[in-house]
Structure formats: structure tokens, C-alpha cells
Structure 1
Amino acid sequence: MDTILIHASQSGRRTRALEYGAHLAARLGASVTGAYVHPSMLQSIPPLAPPDLVSLVLVNAKTLGADADRLGVEFVEWTRSLGIKHAAWHVAEDYLPDALAQIGQWHSLLVVGHDADFAWGSPPDIASLIFAATLPAIVVPAGTVEPRAAGSIVVAWNGSAEAIRATRAALPLLKQAHKVVVLMGERRHTLREISWNPGLDIEEFLRRHDVRFECREFDADDDKAGTALLEASASLKADLLVMGMYGRGRFREWILGGATRQVLEQATLPVLMCH
């Protein structure tokens, strides 16, 4: 988590995601990049449009760019006041998933906001951004501003590759947390089971990295797993939920697993996801 990319969903104001991501970067001693992406205004102009409409679109595009540039200057100055040594701001005119896929290659973590006013704010759309960026991502719900300095973290564990990657990505946060609870769900089996002796498990991994933790059994029906995870996180007063991000079949960007969709729809705490 040494290079954090934060998606800015608004051009004229500092969003929750920007605030959360910047505070997280300051806490971890990471560099940070804010990125605002907007579609091409000219592509929205119909063929043979009247000159007045073309002129209006161009004026709006110029205003949008000016607002984004001004926010960028404020963002860099503000992050430096938090103690962040390296901060940057980028504005792109492109299809959002493609832009995040490109800039994501330079970063180790993506922070996105769950913003109902944002065109990409629905669970499938947020998921498509995470899949496109190919990065571990923290989804920040409305109302969350600053991560606690040493909070409580819940890890949803089922032994899957996605859960392993999410746990590994969250390691810097797990090492700082004052409380880590691993919810031990039903283990996912692959088509070919390999027997390791000794076994490969999360407990050994966390001990190796000096993470203090406790394990608790977690049992929920598949169709209610996401809701149950959030209820368990709330009862534990968690500041962050760590979980694998699951899809179904080849087109997982559009067809999310039930637990992933429920968490994206219902979460009131930040969620670190990895696919």
C-alpha cells in the first residue's frame, strides 16, 4: 500500500473517498494520487447538431476541466498538510474503467466511493471499476471520512484465492490494528484439491507477520452471507471489513456473487475487496 490511487467522482468538491484515501496514505506513509475522469463531451453531441448546442457543450467541458484543475491544486496542498510527501492529481477524458486500468498499473491500492449521485455508483458498476483496475480496492460508503489510527478489522475467510489475496493486501493495516477478528466460514474447494503438510492457513500467515488476531466460527446461508458478514462486523464494531470479491462465470464484471453484491449494496463501513 505504498502508492494509493483515489478515484474522485466529483470535479468540484472533495469527496469522502478522497478524504478517506488521503488520511489512509498519511497513516501508512504512502504516496497518493487523486484521479478525476470524465467522458468526452464531444461524443455526446449528435450529428448535425446546431452550432449553439456545440458551443454550449464546449463551454461546459471547459468549466468542468477548470473545476477539476482547481480541486486538484487544493487536493495536493491539503494532502501535504497531512504530512504526505508525494501527492499528484490527474484529470483524464476517457471511459472510466479504461482510465483506471491504465493509471492503476502505477499503484498498489484503489480507493473508490459508494456515491449514489455518481453515474458509476451502483454495485455492478463499482465492481467493474475494481475489476478493470486489477488492484485491491477499498470501497468507502457515504458518511465515512477518516480511518481510525489503530482500529478494529474483520477478515472474512473461506480459504479461496480471492480471500487470500485480500488478506495479503490488507497486511499493512492488519499489523497496525488493535483488534483483528477472522470469521472462519465454510472453506471453498477447488476442482483439484492439493493436500499440503503442514496445511496452508491464515492463522500461520498472520502469526508469521506478527498480527494479533482471534478466530471465530462464521456460518451463514449463501444467499444471506453478505448481510451476515455486515451484521457480524457491526457487532464487533469493526472499522474495516476485508473480503474476497466474487463473481460468477466468465462475465464476472457484470454478474456478481451474492455476498459481494449484498456487501456493496448495504455496507456502512469501508470494505477492502480483492478479486
Structure 2
Amino acid sequence: MRDILVFSESFKRWGGSVEYAARLACAFDAHLTGIWVCASPMAALPSFEEPELFAELLDATLDLEKEAAASAAAFEAHVLQLGQRKASWQVAEGYVPEALALAGSWHDLLVTGRSDHAAWGSLSSVGNIVLGAGDLPCIVVPEHAPTQLPALDTVAIAWNGSIEAMRAVHAALPLLQSARRVVILRGEQRPPVRMTAWLPPFDLAGYLLRHGMTVESRTLRGGSEDDVGAALLGAAGEVGAGLLVMGAYGHTRFREWVLGGVTRHVLAHAALPVLLRH
């Protein structure tokens, strides 16, 4: 893990997700890139019948982007206070998930915040960011989550045997290997989306042991998806986990994100950072 990207909703103040990302990058001796995204004025083009008004909007956007770019020194000074010496700052223009997907294509991990008080911290917005990130794993940091990295001493894995869960575990290997304790939270094994004649078996505990980890396992019980999500968070709290690793969007994207699901419940109620990959 050599390059970490953190999305900041502001270029004038730095939230908990920036602090978390800085401490994580410092722990792994990784380079940290902060990024702020400005909405494109082109999205407002149909609303302006007067060319002069649109020209004013373009000028205002350019001024805003210049101001954001000038905050690079403030960002680097902030993360330096947290111990992170290798950092840079970027400003992009456009739709946030698309900008993050492009910048994330040369990073190993994306960190973003979760807050009902932020435009891109709502459940639906975070879902769009995670979905748009493609293969890039994302750590979602709740608004009041601890940002000190000693919390990574224990990492929990939400395990249901799905391909999304397998991908999440694989993406989280550097974090899992740095933890003193890894706890597998076993839920009901999810059936495959398509009927197949044979599925290769996968022993998660054996896989982690081969990667040099000390592994524990707990079995969860739950009925509805909300019950499973609550059980996951409860078990993660009981073992003292500082990070929960889980796959996302095991159903179709529409059903999982719009109609609910374990992923949505966990993100809505988590008090700890959650690493997601779909």
C-alpha cells in the first residue's frame, strides 16, 4: 500500500477522514493525496439563457478552483502535524464519483467520510462513490469514528462466502497483516447469483493463516438484512474492532442500495471505519 487518496469536501477545513487517512498513510509509509472536487459549470448550462450569466459562472468557478489549489500548503501542513511527510493536493472539476474514480486509478485505497451533514457524506452519495470506484477499495470513515490508528490492532471481517467478501479481504490484506488480531464474523453463506454445477470451496481461515495472521471466528445469527447488519456491528464492537472489512452490493445494485440491505445498514449505523469493495 504505497498511495492513498482521501476525498475532502472542503479545502478550508479538514475533517476526520483526512486525519484518519494521514495516520494510515504514515503507518504504511505511503504517499497521501488529498483531493477536492468542484462541480462543473457545464452542468448548469441549460439553466442559463443569457451568455453573460454563464460567463460569470465560469469566472466564479475558475476563481474557486484557484483558491482551492492554493490550499495545497495548508493541507500539507495539516497532515505534517499528524506525522505524514509525503503528501500532495489535487483539485478536480466534474462529478465527484467520476473524478475520484479517475484519480483512484493510480492509488491503492480511497478514504472518504460519512456524515449526514455533508453533501457527499450521505448514504446515497457514499454509495455512488463506492460503486464508482470500481476495483479500488474504499474506507468509509463515520463522522465521529476514532481516527487514531492503534484501533487497527483488531480488524473484523464480515464473511458470507460471497465474491464481494472475497474481494474485500484480498484488498484489505495489508491492513489485516498489520493487525495483531483478525476476527471472522461468519454470517449465512450467500447463494450464488447464477446456478452453476460446481463452485470451488474457499477456506478463509486457512487463507489468512497462510498469510501469517492470527485468526478467530464467530458465528452470527440474524433474520432480516437489518438484523444481520446490527449483528455485525454488535459483534465488531464486542471484539473491539477498529476496522470492519466487508463486501458490498451482493444483490443487484438497485436492490442493495435503494431498497436497503446489510451494506446500507452498516454504513448508516457504524461507529467505526468500514472498508468496502464490491
| Contact 1:127–1:253 under 8 Å retained in 2 | no
Report percent identity of matched pairs: 40
Alignment RMSD (CA, Å): 2.4
For 2:189, the equivalent position in structure 1 comes to 187
**Please, which moves more after superposition, 180-189 or 105-114?**
180-189
> How many Å apart are 1:127 and its aligned residue?
1.1
Give the match's secondary structure for 1:125. Answer: helix
CA gap 1:255/1:52 in 2 versus in 1, 3 angstroms: closer
For 2:165, the equivalent position in structure 1 comes to 163
> Which one-letter code corresponds to 1:47 in the other structure?
F
CA gap 1:193/1:76 in 2 versus in 1, 3 angstroms: farther
> How many Å apart are 1:259 and its aligned residue?
0.2
> How many Å apart are 1:256 and its aligned residue?
6.1
Q: Gaps (5+ residues) in structure 2?
A: none
CA deviation string 1:55-108 (max 9, x = no partner) = 4x4575355334422432222234355554542211011111111121111111
CA gap 1:189/1:254 in 2 versus in 1, 3 angstroms: closer
| Contact 1:16–1:142 under 8 Å retained in 2 | yes
Q: Report the TM-score when normalising by structure 1.
A: 0.88
Give the match's secondary structure for 2:7. Answer: strand
For 2:272, the equivalent position in structure 1 comes to 269
Number of positions where the alignment pairs a residue of Structure 1 with one of Structure 2: 272
| Contact 1:136–1:166 under 8 Å retained in 2 | yes
CA gap 1:11/1:202 in 2 versus in 1, 3 angstroms: same
The question of 1:6 aligning with 2:6 is answered yes
Matches within 5 A, 1:1-275: 1-41=1-41, 43-44=43-44, 46-49=47-50, 55=56, 57=57, 60-62=60-62, 64-80=64-80, 82=82, 84=84, 86-134=86-134, 135-149=136-150, 150-190=152-192, 191-192=195-196, 194=198, 196=200, 199-223=201-225, 224-249=227-252, 251=254, 254-255=257-258, 257-275=260-278
Q: Gaps (5+ residues) in structure 1?
A: none
> Which one-letter code corresponds to 2:65 in the other structure?
G
> How many Å apart are 1:229 and its aligned residue?
0.8
Quote the Cα distance in structure 2 between the aligned partners of 1:101 and 1:253. 21
| Contact 1:131–1:253 under 8 Å retained in 2 | no
Q: Which 4+ stretches in 1 moved above 6 angstroms?
A: none
> Which one-letter code corresponds to 1:30 in the other structure?
A
| Contact 1:19–1:145 under 8 Å retained in 2 | no
Q: Report the TM-score when normalising by structure 2.
A: 0.87
| Contact 2:48–2:54 under 8 Å retained in 1 | no
